[in-house]
């Protein structure tokens, strides 16, 4: 082999190695950005919210650039299983059923369900009081799973997004929506003239986790390590305060 060819091959190999290293420096993340204040599209079109700041802070700790796509809620877990993404962050509650198909990080947020009601429906105060009523949920969320269990529920309307379901509570086509409490509060705050209120916690607390592919235990360990670091160094608290005010 001629010297120049050998040199060229060496250079090409070096380039290949460097570019894979660079390629690995991107953490590909998916979310569903209809979940203010965790993930939503700001006026400038950018994805923003508590989860977005958390995943970027984790990326910083890992020395990785974070690239986030906004996809449909029911497409998140399948896309992760097909390895289109490295991780999901979308206010996803850690449940035993979901943990059969994906691995969850340590919990990063404690939440609870509430019921958002149209102000005409003051008789709705708990899950049981939805008996005979029409409830809305975002499909395949913990709100959906809780509503499904209500005995004698009039009917259950499953929407693809939280804002669609909320719109239907506002219009009065449904009586109420079962949804995560911090999201209900943010929605009410952002829509102060909407004829809505919420009833406060109606179920046990739940915990959000970041999901990764079951085969990617190495990334899971790194994410947990980074989470612990941002909790220890004040980054987590600063992000929490930014979105929820002082604790």
**Helix axes 181-190 and 162-171, enclosed angle (nearest 10):** 60
> Could you tell me the CA-to-CA distances from 127 to 46, 149, 150, 207 in Å, in that order?
36, 9, 7, 20
Query: Does the N-terminal peptide bond of residue 37 adopt cis geometry, omega within 30 degrees of 0?
Result: yes
Residues 185-244 interacting with ligand ARG (rule: CB under 6 A): none
Residues 37-56 interacting with ligand ARG (rule: CB under 6 A): 39
Candidates 48, 93, 114, 168; binder of ligand ARG (CB under 6 A) is 93
Candidates 103, 114, 129, 142; binder of ligand ARG (CB under 6 A) is 142
180 binds ligand ARG (CB under 6 A): yes
Candidates 105, 138, 168, 235; binder of ligand ARG (CB under 6 A) is 138
Minimal distance, residue 11 CB to ligand ARG, in Å: 46
Query: Cβ distance 181 to 200 under 8 Å?
Result: yes
For residues 221 and 223, give the distance between their C-alpha atoms in angstroms, rounded to a whole number.
5
Residues 63-92 interacting with ligand ARG (rule: CB under 6 A): 73, 90-92
Query: Cβ distance 29 to 89 under 8 Å?
Result: yes
Candidates 141, 159, 196, 220; binder of ligand ARG (CB under 6 A) is 141
Residue nearer to ligand ARG on the CB measure, 61 or 105:
105
Residue with tokens 């890992």: 62
Residues that bind ligand ARG (CB under 6 A): 32, 34-35, 39, 73, 90-93, 138, 141-142, 162, 180
């Amino acid at each position: 082999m001629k010297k120049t060819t050998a040199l060229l091959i060496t250079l090409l190999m070096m380039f290949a190695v460097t570019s894979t290293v660079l390629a690995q420096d991107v953490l590909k993340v998916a979310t569903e950005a209809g979940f203010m204040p965790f993930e939503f599209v700001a006026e400038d079109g950018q994805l923003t919210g508590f989860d977005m700041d958390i995943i970027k802070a984790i990326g910083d700790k890992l020395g990785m650039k974070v690239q986030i796509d906004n996809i449909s809620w029911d497409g998140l877990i399948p896309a992760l299983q097909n390895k289109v993404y490295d991780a999901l962050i979308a206010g996803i509650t850690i449940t035993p059923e979901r943990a059969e198909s994906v691995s969850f990080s340590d919990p990063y947020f404690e939440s609870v369900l509430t019921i958002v009601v149209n102000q005409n429906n003051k008789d709705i105060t708990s899950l049981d009081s939805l008996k005979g009523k029409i409830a809305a949920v975002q499909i395949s969320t913990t709100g959906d799973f809780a509503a499904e269990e209500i005995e004698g529920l009039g009917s259950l309307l499953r929407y693809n997004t939280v804002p669609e379901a909320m719109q239907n509570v506002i219009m009065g086509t449904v009586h109420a929506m079962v949804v995560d409490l911090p999201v209900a509060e943010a929605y009410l705050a952002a829509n102060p003239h909407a004829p809505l209120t919420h009833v406060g916690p109606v179920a046990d607390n739940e915990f959000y986790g970041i999901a990764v592919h079951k085969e990617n235990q190495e990334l899971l360990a790194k994410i947990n390590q980074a989470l612990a670091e941002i909790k220890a160094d004040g980054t987590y608290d600063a992000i929490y305060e930014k979105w929820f005010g002082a604790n």
